[in-house]
Structure formats: C-alpha cells, structure tokens
Structure 1
Amino acid sequence: MESSENKYNVKNPAVKRILQEVKEMQSNPSDDFMSLPLEENIFEWQFAISGPRDTEFEGGIYHGRIQLPAEYPFKPPSFMLLTPNGRFETQTKICLSISNHHPEHWQPSWSVRTALVALIAFMPTNPNGALGSLDYKKEERHALAIKSREAAPKFGTPERQKLIDEIHEYMLSKAPPVPQLNPSQASKENATNKEDDANQNPQDAGAVAAGEAIASLDVGDRIVEEVDEAPGQLNPIPEGSVAPVRIQAESSSVQLLRRSGPRAPRPNDERLFTWAAVGLTIAIVVLLLKKFIKASGYGAVFMDGS
C-alpha cells in the first residue's frame, strides 16, 4: 500500500485509520474472511466471508463491497453483497446494526474486521423483514453455497475484478467442504415452522414481539463475544449488559421461589381471624337485640328515658 500512502494525506484521521486496518488485515489474516481496499481508492473495499459453520451456508464463499465514509471511523460503513446467498439481496445496501442504516449503534472502536465477524454471525439469523434481507429455504441456501465456490462474481472495473478474483482464490484455499444437507429434513423443519406460526394465538402477538426484541439482544451479545475474540479488537459493549442482568434477575427469582415453597399461615394471622369472628358475632347479637326491643314497645320508653 505504499502508493496509497503517497497518494493520500496520512495526517487525515480517516486515512490514517484505514491504512492501519489494511496492515493489520494483511499481517493477521483469517480463514473466515478477507478484505482489502482498491488500489485507486482506499475508501472502497472488497471482501469475502465464509458461510458460518453448522448452518446451510457452511462452505460457501460470499463476496461483497464496503464503502467507508469520509468521517470513518466516527460514522459506519455501508455493505453490499455480490454473491447470491438467500439471506441478503445482492447489489443492495443491507440494513444491519453495524451498517450506515443504524449509525446510532456504530462505535468508533469497531473496524472492518469487526464488521465482517458480525456479518458472518448475522447470516443465519431471522431477517425480520429488514431492508435488503431475504428468507430463502434451507435447501435453496445450501444450493447457493455450493454454487458460490465455482467462481467469483463479476463486478466493476478490471482492477476491482482482479482484487475480487484474488480474494476468491484465497478464500477457496481456506474454505471447508460443503456438508450434505438432508432435503427431507429441511422441508420438515420448514413445515413445522409454518404450522407453529398458523397455530399461534392472536393475543400472543405482544409476547412474540417482546421475544423477538429479547432475541435480538441475545444475538447482539453473541456477536460481541465473537468480536471480542478477534485479535486487536476492543469489546464494544461493556460488561453487565441488558441481557445478562435480566437473566440473572430471573434466575434469582426462580431460585427464591423454589427454596421458600408455599407460605404457611403465621400465628398472628390466626389471632386476627379469631378476633374478627368474635367482633362480627357481637355485632349480630346487638342488632337482633335492638330489633327485639323495638318490636316489644320498649323502644319509645328507652328513647324518652335517654
């Protein structure tokens, strides 16, 4: 990248940060992703990620494009997938918490490496109708994973295509074989999911929405854990986040209920009940006595005498 260093103002914070990330990416490569900027524009990156293991994407090689803003790293990048995958639309800026669609979530301590780790983690998650998302069946995604290995996508100028091809060759040398997916099992899972959705009660809609919100927090926690394992990266979310606190509180409440068991009546409660019964009996006797006096004609005498 010597020519890039000569071409750009290295005193510019964004340029300085990008050049540091390029050197780190080259000196510490990963088997799960590769990304480098174009020679003529270091704010334009090409990348490829491998499909996450133990999913229908495993073994696939998915290319994409990253655009870094002039204010990077204080503003987030945008991401675009170029390889058909069944999870994200191609040549469309996708909506993720790490992308420019949600600048409120972005943190300057994150990097291109951080974002790629997060993108891999996002692939098997539920799209929930997000912009640029797709919800293909597992067998369709599996077929696209196999096809993605055949050749790199064709996109852009010859210089860009050369970089895409180089990244593809590197990823192909690191990619594991595509595992076999049982079509009948995948179809059965899809049918089960549809049946569960059809049997869901309308009054449970609020609970489902709350569950999805909690699930998104859990996904975020998993991403942070994976990012934290990446060399040279800071944990973007402090310890004691929302999800762990909630889980600890619920666990403590359950344990307390299990230890205490049903509450036995206390002696004070029994005495209170006894006095209430006696008071009620006296009130009934007084009421009956007044009715008897009034009925027998002594009521007027009693009134005069008072």
Structure 2
Amino acid sequence: SFITLRRARSGARRARHRHQMSSGASPGGQAPPDGAEAKYNMKNPAVKRIAQEMREMSRDVDPCYHAEAVEDDIFEWHFAILGPEDTEFEGGIYHGRILLPPEYPFKPPSFMLLTPSGRFETNAKICLSISSHHPEHWQPSWSVRTALLAVRSFMPTAPEGAVGSLDYPADERRELAAASRERPPEFGNSESRRALIAEVHAKMLTRWEAMRAAKREREDVARAEAAAEAEASRLNDAYDLDDTAAWVRTNALRRVALQMPDELLRDAMAVAAALTRRCNAPSRGGGGGGDAE
C-alpha cells in the first residue's frame, strides 16, 4: 500500500543515516547511496557531478518540483513537478523518470513521464530541446534542476507534433490534473523504487496544499483591495474628495473603532487608505489634492 511503501522508504533512510553517523559522514543533504564508493569510481566526472547535484537538490528546495536518485543507481532519478499555475495543469502532480548517460553532463539525459497529463505520453521517452532527442542543444552547464524547470515550462506549450507529445482538450487535462493527486503512479517491480515514488508524491502533495493556501490568501487580499478602491471611487463621485478623506481620517475611524467589529474596522481603514492615495495623487492639471481623476 501507499503507507507501507512510505514506511519502507523511511526505514531505509534511517538505516542509511545510522551508517553515515557511524562512518563519520555528514547526514546533511542526499548523499550518494550506501556502497557507492565500491560500486562507482568517485573520481569519475559523471559520478562526481551527479553526487554534487544530489546534494544541491536536497539543500536548495523548490516547491514546484522534487527529484531524487534511486538508492541502487545514481544514474536513475525519479521526480515530480507541480503543474504550472493558471493553466489546465494547475493542481496536478506529475511524476517522471530521468536516465543520465555515463557521459553526463556532456551528453543529455532522457525523460519519461509516468503520470497521465494529456500533454506527454506516459512510459515513453519525450522529445524536448534539453533531452537525448536533441543532443546538439544540450549544454554541460545544465543540470537535472534545469531539465525539470524546462519540462514544467513546456507543459502549457503547443506540442507541434513532437515525439511523445499529446494534445488533449483543456477539460480533460484538468480532470487528469485532479486525478494525479489521488495516488502516485506504479512503476516497475522494485519495492525501493515504488517507495521512492510514494515518498516524492507525499512531499509534493504537501507543497501543493501550501501553495494553494497561499494563492487563496493572495486572492483574498486582491479582492479586498479592489473593493476598497471601488468604495473610494464611489465616495469620490458622491462627495468632495479632500473633505471626505479628511472626515474619514479625523472622525470615521474613531467612531467605527468603538462600534464596529474588527473585520468592518479593517474594511473602513482600507477605504481610508484608498482615499488618501487618491488625495495624494497628482491631478490631470498637475496640481495636488482636489479631484484625483
């Protein structure tokens, strides 16, 4: 089950932590898997670069994506990205797999999406300018982080017949985005890989919930500011602006502070602030005060 896989992954993490502490290694960041020194040549440019990116990815967290190498193969990574805001992919959690070549970073990685999105085929290598389909465009300075940002930015673009691309209607993509949050995709028969995917999914679900709450708060603030500006415009049309603003500053807030609930007081203060901004704005004739319009 989902919970069992997460527990298995957590147990493996605790075991690796104990190994690091007993050997004197730093537990901070995602270190190369246990036994990597014996399995890989740590002086190899690809291995060194991948180990560096693993540490950076763990240290510099971005709420829009997450990626980790599997425990038994640092050349295979699993990732998840959040669908871009204000698109039909918003709210989606899209998992994928990255395979890094032995020549990395001098040759590009290949990408495979595991979550249905309506934009990319699943379980098939996708064609992007930063993928193995276009090695002529790849730059060694790019990284897994660069690639994840590119995949996310490509999602709302037109497919234009690219290999592995789909062009589902927006409504179907929204349905797939909502469904993607329900559970992580199943991939392969390896319990450790499935546990990793489940853990990544849980992290991204938490981040999505936090981002959704922050967006709602921003929208509430924007609505309150718009309402305050509208009320200021109404008062400006009905009364002399300078006299109205002065009255609010000297009398209204003092009165409502004694009589109104806190939420109404905040609204009144917002209106007063909007009126003050209009009073201080230059008029069309270049003078101060008077009609701000």
TM-score range for the pair, normalised by the shorter chain length? 0.5 to 0.7
The separation in 1 between residues aligned to 2:155 and 2:79, in whole angstroms, is 15
The separation in 2 between residues aligned to 1:41 and 1:94, in whole angstroms, is 21
Structure 1 partner of 2:242: none
Structure 2 partner of 1:130: 162
Q: In the alignment, does 2:53 pair up with 1:28?
A: no
Q: Deviations over 1:221-242 (max 9, x none)?
A: xxxxxxxxxxxxxxxxxxxxxx
- The partner residue of 2:110 within 54, 68, 78 is 78
The separation in 2 between residues aligned to 1:137 and 1:4, in whole angstroms, is 47
Shift of 1:177: 4.2
Preserved contact between residue 44 and residue 66 of structure 1 (Cα < 8 Å) = yes
Shift of 1:102: 0.2
SS of the residue corresponding to residue 66 of structure 2 reads strand
Structure 2 partner of 1:61: 93
Q: Within 5 Å, which residues of 2 pair with 1:67-216?
A: 67-156=99-188, 157-175=190-208, 176-177=211-212
Tell me which amino acid in the other structure corresponds to 1:74: F
Q: Deviations over 1:167-217 (max 9, x none)?
A: 0000000014499xxxxxxxxxxxxxxxxxxxxxxxxxxxxxxxxxxxxxx
Q: Deviations over 1:35-80 (max 9, x none)?
A: 0111100000000000011100011000000000000000000000
- The partner residue of 1:50 within 67, 72, 82 is 82
Count of residue correspondences: 179
Tell me which amino acid in the other structure corresponds to 1:126: A
SS of the residue corresponding to residue 114 of structure 1 reads helix
SS of the residue corresponding to residue 104 of structure 1 reads helix
Shift of 1:5: 3.9
Shift of 1:8: 1.7
TM-score scaled by length of structure 2? 0.60
Q: How much is the aligned-residue C-alpha RMSD, in angstroms?
A: 1.4
Q: Deviations over 1:8-30 (max 9, x none)?
A: 21100000000000000001111
TM-score scaled by length of structure 1? 0.57
Shift of 1:131: 0.4
Unaligned residue ranges in structure 2 (runs of 5+): 1-30, 216-293
SS of the residue corresponding to residue 129 of structure 1 reads coil
Structure 1 partner of 2:71: 39
Tell me which amino acid in the other structure corresponds to 1:61: I
Structure 1 partner of 2:237: none
The separation in 2 between residues aligned to 1:4 and 1:51, in whole angstroms, is 36
The separation in 1 between residues aligned to 2:41 and 2:163, in whole angstroms, is 35
The separation in 1 between residues aligned to 2:185 and 2:36, in whole angstroms, is 29
Tell me which amino acid in the other structure corresponds to 1:92: A
Q: In the alignment, does 2:32 pair up with 1:9?
A: no
Task: Report which of the two structures shows the higher radius of gyration computed on alpha carbons.
Answer: 1
SS of the residue corresponding to residue 43 of structure 1 reads strand
Tell me which amino acid in the other structure corresponds to 1:18: I
The separation in 1 between residues aligned to 2:156 and 2:66, in whole angstroms, is 20
Change (3 A) 1:164 1:45: same
Unaligned residue ranges in structure 1 (runs of 5+): 180-306
